Amino acid sequence: MQSKVSDRGRGLATQRPSFLAVLSDQWSPSSNPNGIVNLGLAENTLMHTEMVEYINSHGDFWNPARLLEVEFGEIDPFSMAAIQQYERALTEAKNRGLRINALVLCSPHNPLGSLGRCYPEDVLKEYLKFCSRNELHLISDEIYALSVWDNPRLPDAPGFKSILSINLEGIIDPSLVHTLWGLSKDFGATGLRIGCLVRGEDTNQRSPISLYNIPSSLADQVTTSLLLDDSFMTKYIAINRTRLANSYHFATKLLRSHGIPYFECNAAFFIWINLGAVVKDATADDILVRLRKERIYIAAGEHYAAEETGWFRLVFSHPLNVLEEGLKRIIKSIQ
Ligand SMILES: Cc1ncc(COP(=O)(O)O)c(C=O)c1O
């Protein structure tokens, strides 16, 4: 049979780096005594045992299990009363011998057990004061900053206020305040891998944080051109808000007409829906099985630190035909 590989491909195959053969046949006195002894790779294997031991015993090194969750119960997380909850959680943590370094705020809120809304300015200031008196860093993740829309059912909901726009003088040492933003959400461009961390003390400086972690020049150029293009940005943000609002209203109208409770919001991409309230006596796992059977995927609230079971996270930032199909399947699964 004639080979389907081109002449060029076959030519390159003969030039396969010999090093790959070394890697696939490395000597080991017990499992591969006839393998190749590799004394060519610039690697220090003398300390592997210690490093493996360390990594294994610190397996949760980067694990968000190291986050201390704060429960709110009936307390509105956007209210001043929420700060008391943090105060209480901090005291309890100290009593348990834990050292808390930072408070992470998703602003606008992304559903970690709750809601796509924006924090009022006075509450943000209270969070800053809380961090200041307890010498905590405040990390404000503002990745949904531009994905805020009008919800007539929430006429008094505050719009987005960036920590960067608050005058920190007399409130907190600016070196304790850090703001994150990136293109992933507001520009639907997760693949570009562009984001930034702005520290309160150097808002006028922009520099990469690592020589080896700089973005590709293509992504860099697209981002620079985008952020400098005022007319495109203005148009894009306005259209994005209109589309988010349309999709949100379409989805919530359907939810209401089928009696599915949800939490009204005006920011980010999620609707927090309570399927547990509709499917009586079913666990979250039972509901997930039903959803899977109808070939629809939404995430259970448990993944997002929901305080109450039965809640699910529905991502509504899709065209209406996609939402219609998805919601039809969700509704079928709970009937
Ligand atoms: C609140 C928040 N911050 C940051 C990210 C990280 O986004 P990425 O790594 O795609 O830039 C996410 C992604 O889901 C998010 O929800």
pLDDT digits over 70-103, tens only?
888 889 888 999 999 999 999 999 999 999 999 9
Q: Is residue 313 within 8 Å of 270, Cβ to Cβ?
A: yes
Mean pLDDT of 210-239: 87
* pLDDT, mean over the chain: 88
User: Over the Cα atoms of the chain, what is R_g?
Assistant: 26
pLDDT recorded at residue 319 = 94
Protein residue with least CA distance to atom 5, ligand 1: 143
Q: How confident is the model at residue 307 (pLDDT cuts 50, 70, 90)?
A: confident
Protein residue with least CA distance to atom 11, ligand 1: 184
pLDDT tens-digit series, residues 32-67:
999 888 887 777 888 888 877 777 776 554 455 888
Q: How confident is the model at residue 303 (pLDDT cuts 50, 70, 90)?
A: confident
Q: Does 96 share its domain with 165?
A: yes
Q: How far is the CA of 112 from the centre of ligand 1 (A)?
A: 12
In which region does residue 29 sit, left (phi positive, over 0), alpha (psi from -120 to 50) or beta (all else)? alpha
Q: How far is the CA of 143 from the centre of ligand 1 (A)?
A: 7
Q: Which atom, in ligand 1's list, is nearest to the CA of 193?
A: 11
Tokens of 51: 């490093």
Q: Which of 166, 190, 216 is the last residue of a domain?
A: 216
According to DSSP, the residues that pair with 138 across neighbouring strands are 103, 177
Backbone angles phi, psi at 203, to 5 degrees: -65, -15
Q: How far is the CA of 106 from the centre of ligand 1 (A)?
A: 10
Substitution site in 67, 106, 110 for ligand 1 pocket (most atoms within 8 Å of beta carbon)? 110
Q: Does 162 share its domain with 271?
A: no
Helix, strand, coil percentages (3-state) for the chain, rounded to 5, are 40, 10, 45
Q: Which residue has the higher pLDDT, 210 or 273?
A: 273
Q: Which residue has the higher pLDDT, 15 or 70?
A: 70
What stretches of the chain show up as alpha helix (H) in DSSP? 7-13, 18-23, 48-57, 81-95, 121-133, 217-228, 230-257, 284-293, 320-334
Share of the chain above pLDDT 70, in %: 91
pLDDT tens-digit series, residues 141-180:
999 999 999 999 999 999 999 999 999 999 999 999 999 9
CATH of the domain at 105: 3.40.640.10
Q: Which of 38, 101, 94, 20 is nearest to 66 (CA)?
A: 101
| 256 is a domain residue | yes
Q: Does 79 share its domain with 203?
A: yes
Fill in the amino acid letter for 122: D
Q: Which domain holds residue 190?
A: 69-216
Q: How confident is the model at residue 125 (pLDDT cuts 50, 70, 90)?
A: very high
Protein residue with least CA distance to atom 15, ligand 1: 143
Who's near 189: CB < 8 A, 6+ residues apart? 183
Q: How far is CA 160 from the centre of its chain?
A: 18
Q: Does 127 share its domain with 245?
A: no
Q: Is residue 332 within 8 Å of 298, Cβ to Cβ?
A: no
Q: How far is the CA of 184 from the centre of ligand 1 (A)?
A: 7
Lowest mean pLDDT among 81-85, 207-211, 305-309: 207-211
Q: How far is the CA of 169 from the centre of ligand 1 (A)?
A: 29
Substitution site in 114, 184, 193, 304 for ligand 1 pocket (most atoms within 8 Å of beta carbon)? 184
Substitution site in 107, 143, 190, 304 for ligand 1 pocket (most atoms within 8 Å of beta carbon)? 143
Give the single-character DSSP code of 267. B
Residues with CB under 6 Å of ligand 1 are 106, 110, 141, 143, 182, 184, 190, 195
| 156 is a domain residue | yes
| 222 is a domain residue | no
Rounded alpha-carbon distances, angstroms, from residue 90 to 85, 87, 119, 177? 9, 5, 21, 18
Cα dihedral sign, 276-279-282-287:
negative
Split into its structural domains, the chain has a count of: 3
Q: What is the dihedral of CA 127, 67, 111, 186, to 10 degrees?
A: 80
Q: Does 291 share its domain with 163?
A: no
Q: Which atom, in ligand 1's list, is nearest to the CA of 144?
A: 1
Cα dihedral sign, 321-324-329-332:
negative
CA angle 160, 78, 128 (to 5 degrees): 75
Q: Which of 237, 232, 251 is nearest to 319 (CA)?
A: 251
| 133 is a domain residue | yes
| 45 is a domain residue | yes
| 321 is a domain residue | yes
Q: Does 23 share its domain with 139?
A: no
pLDDT recorded at residue 20 = 75
Share of the chain above pLDDT 90, in %: 62
Q: Which atom, in ligand 1's list, is nearest to the CA of 190?
A: 10
Distance from C-alpha of 216 to C-alpha of 154, rounded to nearest angstrom: 41
pLDDT recorded at residue 210 = 57
Q: Does 21 share its domain with 141?
A: no
Protein residue with least CA distance to atom 8, ligand 1: 184
Q: Does 134 share its domain with 84?
A: yes
| 310 is a domain residue | yes
Q: What 3-state class would DSSP assign to 65? A: helix
